[in-house]
Amino acid sequence: MVVEEPEPDTFPKLLLRHSKLRGGRPALREKSRGIWRTMTWRDLADEVAALAGALSAQGLQRGAHVALVGDNRPRLYAAMCAAQWLGAVAVPLYQDAVADEMVSSMQKAEITHVFAENQEQVDKLLELLPRCPTIRCIVYDEDRGMRHYKQPQLVSYDTLLQQGREFAGSKREFLQAEAERGTGQDVAFLFFTSGTTGPAKGVVLTHASLIDRARVAAASEGLKDTDVAMAYLPPGWIGQNLFSYVQPMVVGYCVCCPESSETMLADMREMGPTYFLAPPRVLEALLAQVSMRMEDAGGINRALYERCMALARRVGARILSGETVPLGDRLAYAVGELLIYGPLRDVLGMSKVRVAYTAGDAVDRDLLMFFRALGVNLKQLYGSTETGFFVAMQRDGQVKPDTVGPAAQGVELKFTPQQEILVRSPGLFKEYHRDPETTSRARNAEGWFHTGDAGYMDDDGHLRIIDRLANVGALNDGTLHAPKVLENKLKFLPYIKEAVVFGDGRDTVCVFVDIDGTAVGRWADRQNISYTGHADLASRDEVYALIADGIAEVNTGLALEPALAKSQIHRFVILPKELDADDGVLTRTGKLRRSVIAERYRLLVDGMYDGRASVRLDDATEVKVGEAKAAAPARRAA
């Protein structure tokens, strides 16, 4: 007889249920010393319970904030759940942030306990300790190099776990009661936004809102406990957290942590994830790698690849969507599947992927279609930290590449006259941490959240995103200017890693190009161009010519689209140094900080618009300005 239990409304309760229902199934896998080590749901529940016991002994209070600083490690996920078990709030931070960046988050959240992955993170924490007096306890996972540290706040994860296991028996009832006390309305997470437009804001999310969104997404994709996902993006980003903590907690599927970021691709191939999340920049990097390797391949292989990809671009996505395709093409595609698509998916670690999502930033249609053409069911997902991530998503069989799909179940959308997207959904955040003023500005009394994104609903009810509202501007002749669209088209070129488009309030569109050092480097090798380093490579006339050709190609494409024909790129510079989050020009999720870039390189922007042939940046660097060839606007056939 089946007794109906109430649906668990917090993560610790979900964990306990998985431990009961599927205790022997894998919850987390981690590759360590060359072997995948499995933690079952039962193991995980035991470890979390022990840890919760030890944390309560360490004085962790309900409602306190626990920071997690490190890469995706099973132990950090266990720590998250242990904190929530006691009613504390998990605060995952970006692990590669430098100490100064972390200080403000730590201070704002008044962190009392921190879980750190290793010595590197502990060093950072000790550096900021004097400025964060609320921190009482730092727990470190890897003990390598930690022997010389004598600070009283430090305790190793192993010690803590050992303590927890020792009194787990005597504390069983207390722990049971603590888990029961939690409700869905309790705060589960505090995420810091990546801070594209200003200082990072702390977004407070409850158990209920996240669990609701995860259930909706799981139902729409038919996720099962046999699914497998990879945890490889920063856990401080809500997207990764949803895929590697929230959703597995709801569905009971298995999450795999690769050995290190360098081994990610090989590890992913070994585990064969079925459910995959990748922000556009990861997809761009994968595509760049494929293109680069194909350019090094022999003539026959290359010709075969190009023919197969041409066919795939024509029919692949339609076959994936289940549309009718002529028999001849279908047969040819089957041959291609055998020769190219299947093996390529395998190399990319995507041969088992059932559902893949790209989110976090706008994706170029060609990029999306490349993967769909290969037979990877890659779809777009729209959401943000404040909206619980699942706002709109493309559905199987109705993927329109220029849209992010219809609204997810439970989500209401409306638009302001300025085309700003407003969202109302059960997944909305509770508030900005200790900032009622900003909260009330972002969410009005009826519960509509201002996303700051501009977009509109198309005729089929699919949401189309234009850009960040703040970025949308106009050229002097009144043409709508949304830099993201152009940048994504440029970034699709294999030699361009990042692009920053200017044009708001100007007569023409100009662009900063950040070349992909590896791809351009290989190209230069093939051309017998010798260079000393990135800066030298970026200033070569040959490279300028290469990029100019690429931009001319993009311009030709733009000329074909009436809305964009006037946004053709006129001039460009190649940045002498790669854009890097450590310089503050990118966020930790790799998004552009436009205002910072425009300020830092003002000389270059002025130079592009003054019509100068080169700009002297400082004593050592002179940056050239390249001219791009514009294409004539297409004339419509009468």
Partner 1 sequence: MSTVASLSSPQRAFPIGAPILELNSISLRFGGVKALTDISFNVLEHEVRAIIGPNGAGKSSMLNVINGVYVPQEGSIAFRGERLTGVGMTPTRAAHLGIARTFQNIALYRGMSVLDNIMAGRNLRMHASFLEVALQLPRARREESEHREKAEEIIEFLEIEHIRKTPVKRLPYGLQKRVELGRALAAEPKILLLDEPMAGMNIEEKQDMCRFILDVNDHYGTTVVLIEHDMGVVMDLSDRVVVLDYGKKIGDGPPDEVRANPDVINAYLGVAH
List contacts with partner 1 (CB under 8 A): 32-35, 144-145, 147-148, 259-260, 262-263, 266
Judged by beta carbon, residue 260 or residue 416, the one nearer partner 1 is 260
Judged by beta carbon, residue 144 or residue 636, the one nearer partner 1 is 144
What minimum distance in Å lies between the beta carbon of 33 and partner 1?
Answer: 4
What minimum distance in Å lies between the beta carbon of 543 and partner 1?
Answer: 24
Judged by beta carbon, residue 147 or residue 636, the one nearer partner 1 is 147
Strand stretches in 4-51, DSSP E: 26-32, 35-40
Cβ-Cβ contacts under 8 Å for 562 (sequence gap 6 or more):
633
User: Using CA atoms, how far apart are residues 595 and 588, in angstroms rounded to an integer?
Assistant: 16
Judged by beta carbon, residue 182 or residue 349, the one nearer partner 1 is 349
What minimum distance in Å lies between the beta carbon of 373 and partner 1?
Answer: 30
Stated as kind and residue range, the H or E segment containing 420 is: strand 420-424
Stated as kind and residue range, the H or E segment containing 248 is: helix 247-251
User: Using CA atoms, how far apart are residues 166 and 53, in angstroms rounded to an integer?
Assistant: 9
Please, are residues 404 and 368 in contact by the beta-carbon 8 Å criterion?
Answer: no
Judged by beta carbon, residue 142 or residue 487, the one nearer partner 1 is 142
For 459, the 3-state DSSP assignment is: coil
Judged by beta carbon, residue 266 or residue 335, the one nearer partner 1 is 266
What minimum distance in Å lies between the beta carbon of 145 and partner 1?
Answer: 7
What minimum distance in Å lies between the beta carbon of 32 and partner 1?
Answer: 8
Judged by beta carbon, residue 148 or residue 635, the one nearer partner 1 is 148
What minimum distance in Å lies between the beta carbon of 369 and partner 1?
Answer: 31
Judged by beta carbon, residue 267 or residue 467, the one nearer partner 1 is 267
User: Using CA atoms, how far apart are residues 483 and 473, in angstroms rounded to an integer?
Assistant: 9
Angle between helices 172-181 and 11-21 (to 10 degrees): 120
Phi first, then psi, for residue 344 (nearest 5°) are -70, -45
Beta bridge partners of 139: 115, 155
Cα 424–chain centre separation: 23
What minimum distance in Å lies between the beta carbon of 120 and partner 1?
Answer: 12
User: Using CA atoms, how far apart are residues 525 and 522, in angstroms rounded to an integer?
Assistant: 5
Burial per residue of 359-376, b for 16 or more beta-carbon CB atoms within 10 angstroms, e otherwise: bbebbbbbbbbbbbbbbb
What minimum distance in Å lies between the beta carbon of 142 and partner 1?
Answer: 10
User: Using CA atoms, how far apart are residues 500 and 201, in angstroms rounded to an integer?
Assistant: 24
Please, are residues 408 and 380 in contact by the beta-carbon 8 Å criterion?
Answer: no
